[in-house]
Amino acid sequence: WHDADFSQGVGTTWYQEYSTLSSTQDPLIHDVEAKIEKYLKTPYIAKWTLKVTWEKAPAYPSRRDDTQTNTYQAVLTTDGNRSFALLLYQDGGMRWDYSKLAAGNVLIGFS
């Protein structure tokens, strides 16, 4: 993650909260639960989930250039006891030129 800059009118951010109180759940909730169970090897039933999407987000400082954007999501979820954050990037969606960012010690990857 880095500072996205929407001041030039390029890019969009939105969020959606998912209700898990009813018996019918959105397919996203089932996908989140399955990912947590698969990768963390622990049973998981979400009680609350929030998905935030940044689409075509320019890096700070923005130069009104929509070719150097990044599309990604953060999914926050909890079962009331444990909480998880999933960071999802569009395949080929990271187009920030890290050599032009203010910080010189950029780390790209995951842990």
Q: Containing domain of residue 38, as a range?
A: 12-100
User: pLDDT for 41-93, tens place per residue?
Assistant: 999 999 999 999 998 888 877 766 667 788 889 999 999 999 999 988 877 76
| Structural contact between residues 76 and 94, judged by C-beta atoms closer than 8 angstroms | no
User: Is residue 3, in this structure, part of any structural domain at all?
Assistant: no
User: Is residue 7, in this structure, part of any structural domain at all?
Assistant: no
How many domains is the chain built from? 1
User: Is residue 16, in this structure, part of any structural domain at all?
Assistant: yes
- Give the separation between CA 58 and CA 97, rounded to whole angstroms: 10
User: Is residue 17, in this structure, part of any structural domain at all?
Assistant: yes
What is the per-residue pLDDT for 86? 92
pTM for this one? 0.76
User: Is residue 61, in this structure, part of any structural domain at all?
Assistant: yes
Q: Which of 79-83, 95-99, 101-105, 107-111 has the highest mean pLDDT?
A: 79-83
